[in-house]
């Protein structure tokens, strides 16, 4: 329910913004449809980008799996239990992922920005699956934020 309310709020905000720039600033072009971020989830999972800290997925036997690593530990993709499970099935259908990076911004300062793509299991039933939000966490500075934004852009381009 909360997710639907957030989506509705986004749509409403975009609509108000477009109406404002059209009526008050006389600019005919507004914000267009949002990008579909859902393909990023599996694309990033199948890459070796960062460390996967959290993953949710479905199997075709009907199970819903949620897996989460303790902060800063092994990449979930390389965890034994996860690897064995994945090898036992044809494929998994991912719908939610968080990826963490360890960046060094100065000689002795490290940061740990995190990207969460918060899809829900029922997204996989949609034709096509859609996601219109990301959550960027633990950014210590603008560089961290831009780093993640560039990752999103890069992987979105690769999805096309």
Partner 1 sequence: MTVISKQALLDQIYEDWGSKPQSKICVEILEYLLRSSQASHITYGSLRKVIGKLYNDNELLMAVQYLCGDKTKLFEVKFELLDYDDNYIEVSNAEIDYANETGKLVHPESGEYISDFEDKVYMYFQPSLIVKNIAQ
String of contacts with partner 1 for each residue 30-69, x by CB under 8 A: ------------x---------------x-xxx-------
Q: Is 6 in the site for partner 1 (CB under 8 A)?
A: no
- Contacting partner 1 (CB under 8 A), which of 25, 70, 107, 125? 125
Nearer to partner 1, 39 or 50 (CB): 39
Least separation in angstroms between CB 90 and partner 1: 5
89 versus 149: smaller Cβ distance to partner 1: 89
Asked whether position 156 contacts partner 1 by CB under 8 A, the answer is no
Residue 4 in contact with partner 1, rule: CB under 8 A: yes
The residues, any chain, with a CB within 8 Å of residue 139's CB and separated by 6 or more, are 111, 113, 145, 148
- Per CB under 8 A, residues contacting partner 1 are 1, 4, 42, 58, 60-62, 89-91, 93, 95, 122-129, 159
């Amino acid at each position: 329910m909360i997710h639907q309310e957030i989506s509705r709020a986004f749509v409403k905000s975009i609509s108000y913004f477009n109406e404002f720039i059209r009526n008050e600033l006389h600019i005919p072009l507004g914000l267009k449809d949002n990008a579909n971020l859902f393909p990023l989830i599996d694309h990033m999972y199948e890459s070796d980008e960062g460390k996967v800290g959290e993953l949710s997925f479905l199997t075709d036997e009907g199970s819903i799996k949620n897996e989460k690593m303790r902060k800063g530990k092994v990449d979930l993709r390389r965890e034994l239990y996860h690897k064995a499970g994945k090898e036992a099935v044809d494929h998994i259908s991912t719908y939610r992922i968080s990826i963490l990076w360890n960046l060094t911004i100065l000689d002795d300062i490290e940061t740990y920005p995190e990207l969460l793509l918060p899809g829900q299991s029922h997204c996989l039933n949609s034709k096509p699956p859609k996601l219109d939000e990301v959550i960027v966490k633990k950014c210590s500075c603008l560089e961290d934020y831009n780093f993640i934004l560039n990752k999103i852009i890069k992987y979105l381009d690769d999805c096309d």
